[in-house]
Structure 1
């Protein structure tokens, strides 16, 4: 037989709730269903004298619905025992107060985002200061350079990225050649597709595409690796033992990327021009021999050097941001994903921004 825990008596002026039985954990669901059926259109008198026994779950249920009734109508509680009152006072005093966040205005969101950006910039400036100090110390004491780790990261960041760089550069070269050929063919200037491909790849697209791919591949890996070390408190242990994390973790990655990225850009230039040559042969019928001869005529060494100059700068930006975001990881796994995403976004943005800056400077200098 189903137990009765709540009786409702209604008259013209008020509703009387009579609680009975044992308000224990195993009966909470049934009691809640009965309480939810109680109307709140009149004053409520809640009689607890019939409750034989109770536990914290029963008292918490009483507190929850008492607050609900108080918001909707007048309520009077009678018949409670001293034990019930003591339990109510204890639990009600220690209940966490959940505050519903107020809806933020546009200006408040803008101000909060600006403040977070300012804190990020301040933290990054501090990080760069530590990094330059570690570099200066390493140059004074070359024996502290970790050659083994640097070579390892050159292999991870450079050699292992050759295939994806080759595929990306080849396709970019083909796309430029195909798109340019359609327009140049209209004017009978087919041969100038060689100029377009060779100069654009070596001067702009080769360095930028390579840097963007490395930012997504190696920069994110740096963030995840250092972030995992921070969560497992390996970095804190290093500091406790007197090892500088910048010298042991950051510098090998920065040096490795500054060495490997220019080599990857050189490789990307060759493969990109090769892709353009293949597309030109298919689309315009320009033979590889004629293509290469035209490359010798139009591709000056300065275009290649200007593109290569960007490599160490892009590498420093990608490696430093990747490591910085790794140090920003909080002590939870969700933070690794957030900081890795931020690392890729920040790196790609700065690569494009600095590429635009280089273009303006080179143009002003007449290069």
Structure 2
């Protein structure tokens, strides 16, 4: 049976008589363009049968018209009324205007994010330039360098971090050696475990792991310390007394990390190689003397030097990011947690990014 919507207009009302069968096979997409009056009525007295697809069709029409007109459904039988109530209870409308607004909000949010990222990058570059200028002025006049604070931060970020650096580096060396031991043992190439552990640990893994640990440990501490100083108006007090915060708070911390990172990386190299030695002795039968002899033959000094050269750059970057985020803390305790999190995340990300850049550059250069 053909399904139809028969329009009848009377008493300033548009009445649609719904006739025929309205199911998933026969439902059509009618466009109600000729609705003149503000009240629209759908009369279901001539309806033969309807399923959920037909009900959804009429509910969608109701959703479109109800913004400007009064819509009502009449003359249901019991079965149809129950079906309408059930479907309407779970029917979800999707407004095109809401979708457009969501898309607009997405692009607005994207624009704000890009503007904020560009502003932060520009501000960070300016901050880096000022720190370098302060370093240049301090080298011309060494009395400006706060050596007591510098030594204190070296102790705090290097000596006090020796325990966690040793543990993580040892585990990294053990993991590297264990992963290599099984594969090399299958081919009788046990001795090459020295090459694998030695090159990967000294050149890439140990410096990267040490930098990440220091970023999580010292960057968070620096940001929190400077943030608390800012909330307590200690930074403003320094400016009032004519002392620039860069010289008193930032420079000692950045220099401490820059000078201590090579020592940390050298220590991490030694511990990670020791971890590899232990696994080589236990799993592959390569004793410590044989391991050391092979290490001297197979590992060029350039691999160790490359890892050591990366270290001060990592330290300088971590210190800069930590102090920059600390000076950005607002006058609320909540912002300390927010900016400390940003500090650690940014420091770890840029350490990994710079390590990747170093690796690509050195590989292309054949070093």
TM-score, structure 1 normalization? 0.71
Q: What is the alpha-carbon distance in structure 1 between the residues aligned to residue 196 and residue 269 of structure 2?
A: 13
Q: What is the alpha-carbon distance in structure 2 between the residues aligned to residue 284 and residue 111 of structure 1?
A: 57
Matched, 1:201 2:214: no
Say if 1:295 and 1:102 are closer, same or farther in 2 by CA, change over 3 A: closer
How far does residue 102 in structure 1 lie from its aligned partner after superposition?
8.7
How far does residue 148 in structure 1 lie from its aligned partner after superposition?
0.6
Give the corresponding residue for 1:294.
Answer: 294
How far does residue 305 in structure 1 lie from its aligned partner after superposition?
0.5
Q: Deviations over 1:232-282 (max 9, x none)?
A: 110011001100100111110011111111001000000000001111112
Q: Deviations over 1:151-171 (max 9, x none)?
A: 000000000000000000000
Give the corresponding residue for 1:273.
Answer: 273
How far does residue 289 in structure 1 lie from its aligned partner after superposition?
1.3
Give the corresponding residue for 1:151.
Answer: 151
Q: What is the alpha-carbon distance in structure 2 between the residues aligned to residue 304 and residue 318 of structure 1?
A: 21
How far does residue 199 in structure 1 lie from its aligned partner after superposition?
0.7
Q: What is the alpha-carbon distance in structure 2 between the residues aligned to residue 103 and residue 299 of structure 1?
A: 56
TM-score, structure 2 normalization? 0.71
How far does residue 113 in structure 1 lie from its aligned partner after superposition?
1.1
Give the corresponding residue for 1:237.
Answer: 237
Query: Which ranges of structure 2 fall in alignment gaps of 5 or more residues?
Result: 1-100
Instruction: Count the aligned residue pairs.
Output: 267
Give the corresponding residue for 2:139.
Answer: 139
Q: What is the alpha-carbon distance in structure 1 between the residues aligned to residue 145 and residue 112 of structure 2?
A: 41
CA RMSD between the two structures: 1.4
Secondary structure of the equivalent of 1:243? coil
Matched, 1:344 2:337: no
Matched, 1:192 2:173: no
Q: Deviations over 1:25-83 (max 9, x none)?
A: xxxxxxxxxxxxxxxxxxxxxxxxxxxxxxxxxxxxxxxxxxxxxxxxxxxxxxxxxxx
How far does residue 106 in structure 1 lie from its aligned partner after superposition?
2.0
Secondary structure of the equivalent of 2:252? helix
Secondary structure of the equivalent of 1:204? helix
Q: What is the alpha-carbon distance in structure 1 between the residues aligned to residue 175 and residue 125 of structure 2?
A: 39
Secondary structure of the equivalent of 1:217? helix
Q: What is the alpha-carbon distance in structure 1 between the residues aligned to residue 327 and residue 161 of structure 2?
A: 24
Matched, 1:128 2:114: no
Give the corresponding residue for 1:315.
Answer: 315
Secondary structure of the equivalent of 2:253? helix
Q: What is the alpha-carbon distance in structure 1 between the residues aligned to residue 134 and residue 359 of structure 2?
A: 31
Instruction: Judge which range, 304-313 or 184-193, deviates more.
Output: 184-193
Give the corresponding residue for 1:282.
Answer: 282
Matched, 1:113 2:113: yes
Query: Which ranges of structure 1 fall in alignment gaps of 5 or more residues?
Result: 1-100
Q: What is the alpha-carbon distance in structure 2 between the residues aligned to residue 309 and residue 361 of structure 1?
A: 14
Q: What is the alpha-carbon distance in structure 2 between the residues aligned to residue 182 and residue 338 of structure 1?
A: 44
How far does residue 103 in structure 1 lie from its aligned partner after superposition?
9.2
Q: What is the alpha-carbon distance in structure 1 between the residues aligned to residue 225 and residue 123 of structure 2?
A: 20
- Aligned pairs for 1:23-172 within 5 A: 105-172=105-172
Secondary structure of the equivalent of 2:160? helix
Q: What is the alpha-carbon distance in structure 1 between the residues aligned to residue 350 and residue 138 of structure 2?
A: 26
Instruction: Judge which range, 267-276 or 135-144, deviates more.
Output: 135-144
How far does residue 311 in structure 1 lie from its aligned partner after superposition?
0.7
Say if 1:104 and 1:337 are closer, same or farther in 2 by CA, change over 3 A: farther
Give the corresponding residue for 2:58.
Answer: none
Matched, 1:325 2:325: yes
Q: What is the alpha-carbon distance in structure 2 between the residues aligned to residue 143 and residue 331 of structure 1?
A: 33
Q: Deviations over 1:95-140 (max 9, x none)?
A: xxxxxx9996322221111111112112111211211111111011
How far does residue 184 in structure 1 lie from its aligned partner after superposition?
1.3
How far does residue 183 in structure 1 lie from its aligned partner after superposition?
1.3
Q: What is the alpha-carbon distance in structure 1 between the residues aligned to residue 344 and residue 104 of structure 2?
A: 28
Q: What is the alpha-carbon distance in structure 1 between the residues aligned to residue 282 and residue 113 of structure 2?
A: 51
